[in-house]
Structure 1
Amino acid sequence: MSLAKTIAVMVEKGGVGKTTTAVNFSTGLANRGKRVLLIDLDPQGNATNECGIDPTGSSTYDLFKGTFSAAVTKWGFDLIGATQDLASIPLDHSGRYEMLAAQLTDSVRTHYDYIIIDMPPGTLETLPLNGLYAADEVIIPLQAEQHASDGVAGFIDTLWSQNEVLGREVKIAGVLVTMYTASSPECRQIVQEATDAFDDLGIPIFVTKIPRSRIFPNAVRRGHIALVKYKSHKAVKAYQDLADEYLLREVNRP
């Protein structure tokens, strides 16, 4: 049996739709019949809250400690949620970045098609390094605003340098434009400039763009997954389009 592909959703700057992307991308893949595991690697537990689960006893902290029992199954995919205890892992295991990968054994990875990791902020700390070491690919959200691509370009340079530290290549699956306003000429110009810049680096940008919409923060506040609760909403459908675009790339990949 084939092993799951592990995809980290990661960016240094907060508030750009990272967690919403991880949760709804997981949902979109599950909607297409894929077996998905979502891992919340952020001690803030935003993905856990967005999915509306209580991870006590089956959290990423338990996974690191070797006391994990079972993932929670809800919304068509499995979830390993986060608690604040996860913040103690860097204190107890500083410099160790292979711990998460060690828990994602072949027996675990053959059970899924995709493992999605909602990453914590940063790149040089213990938890992000564990996520990167376990990942095959990274999806990077990019908010459609002035100078955002400069920050992401710097972040990509850091990722490439971490490949040397980790001793393995983590590929960039693509940059995902979020909070996009199609009617704004300025927004369109920003995205075009970002596309040109990343093309020069050989980094793809997803054709799918996630629109700016109040539906996403409203869903988060209510503990709903947008693609479950509001799946007919035009902005929300973009996340299904993202999953479909990714799967089509997989089919066409040499």
Structure 2
Amino acid sequence: MTLTAPRVLTIANQKGGVGKTTTAINLGTALAAIGERVLIIDLDPQGNASTGLGIDRRQRTVSTFDVMIGEAGLAAAAVETLVPNLAIAPSTLDLLGVELQISSERDRAFRLRRAIEDFAAADQSYSYVLIDCPPSLNLLTINAMTASHAILVPLQCEFFALEGLSQLLKTVEQVRATLNPDLSIHGVVLTMYDARNNLAAQVVEDVRRHMGEKVYNTIIPRNVRVSEAPSHGKPVLLYDLKCNGSQAYLRLASEIIARERALHAA
């Protein structure tokens, strides 16, 4: 990719309920807290990332739907959040119809990539763009992968975790072969870990054996404060900074920054 800044990371897993949106919100907040300027792109029609960052539906006058159909740029859609250095391009249910509107267009897989390139060219202040994807491998997710430098995969510590991961990795390979040859897997983050559950420990062992160093050292625990925070329109780092979940996301942000530095140094 020709994009030099910001770094674009897609948070993807076709399985629902694995912590994609929670990871997008709290990783974005953690990166902002350590001095990075971050834009989250809410590409899920459910709009949970937007709601979880306190963006009322009445505030979403320009959304990622408008960006995807070419009627607005990301700068027009971006809304500042309660978190300093963190903005979000919010989503609306209109996104459900975007595939029908652009599926016959030749550039249908490149809509988001072009929007990010235009945004980055006009505003050099952002260091990270995080894309929150829907729980499916549809045209929205393909757009996100085509626009990204790397994929971050949240994986719930449950029985079928690896089965879903293999399908996602196949899609990444297809996108790399046809649309974005520089796409890579940044890492796998294990989520909703319950230390009391023997199966969870087995899943962690299996995923680490299968994916090796691609698995982040940080594991996100199952934590009630993480679950409560979105209903208050806040990331958990604002809702309860000292809880285990917040501290885990801060560690994950530090680990991602360290991987980024290692990539640039290589």
What TM-score results when the alignment is normalised by the length of structure 2? 0.88
2-structure distance, mates of 1:251, 1:164: 26
1:100-144 CA-to-partner distances (Å, cap 9, x unmatched) read 111112414633100000011222x22111111111111001111
- 1:99-248 maps to which residues of 2 (within 5 A)? 99-104=111-116, 105=118, 106-108=120-122, 110-123=124-137, 125-199=138-212, 204-248=214-258
Aligned-partner residue type, residue 48 of structure 1:
S
**8 Å contact kept, 2:236–2:245:** no
- Cα distance change, pair 41–109 in 1 and its aligned pair in 2 (3 A): farther
Per-residue CA deviations over 1:43-68 (Å, capped at 9, x if unaligned) read: 11010010111342231122223334
CA RMSD, aligned part only? 1.8
1:18-73 CA-partner distances (Å, limit 9, x unpaired): 10000100001000100111100011101001011134223112222333425111
Q: In 2, are the aligned partners of 1:40 and 1:47 still within 8 Å (CA)?
A: yes
1:59 is matched with 63
CA deviation after TM superposition for structure 1 residue 223, in Å = 2.1
Aligned with 2:10: secondary structure?
strand
Supply the distance in 2 between the matched residues of 1:21 and 1:167 (Cα, whole angstroms). Answer: 24
Gap regions ≥5 residues in structure 2: none
Contact 1:144/1:179 (8 A) holds in 2: yes
**Separation in structure 2 between the aligned mates of residue 251 and residue 131 of structure 1, nearest angstrom:** 23
Q: Could you tell me which amino acid in structure 2 is paired with residue 217 of structure 1? A: S
Instruction: Quote the Cα distance in structure 1 between the aligned partners of 2:152 and 2:187.
Output: 5
d(CA) in 2 for partners of 1:167 and 1:113?
21
- The answer as to 2:76 corresponding to 1:88 is no
* Alignment partner, residue 88 of structure 2: 79
- Matched to 2:159, the amino acid is Q
SS at match of 2:9: strand
Q: Distance in 1 between matches of 2:11 and 2:183?
A: 12
**Residues 108 and 204 from structure 1, CA distance in 2 versus in 1: closer, same or farther, beyond 3 angstroms?**
farther
Instruction: Report the CA distance shift for 1:70/1:146 in structure 2 as closer, same or farther (over 3 A).
Output: closer
- What's the CA shift string for 1:189-241, capped at 9, x where partnerless? 22111110112xxx600000000112222112232211111111122210111
Shift of 1:151: 1.8
Partners of 2:220 and 2:195 in 1: CA distance: 10
* Residue 3 (str. 1) matches residue 5 (str. 2): yes
Q: How many residues align?
A: 250
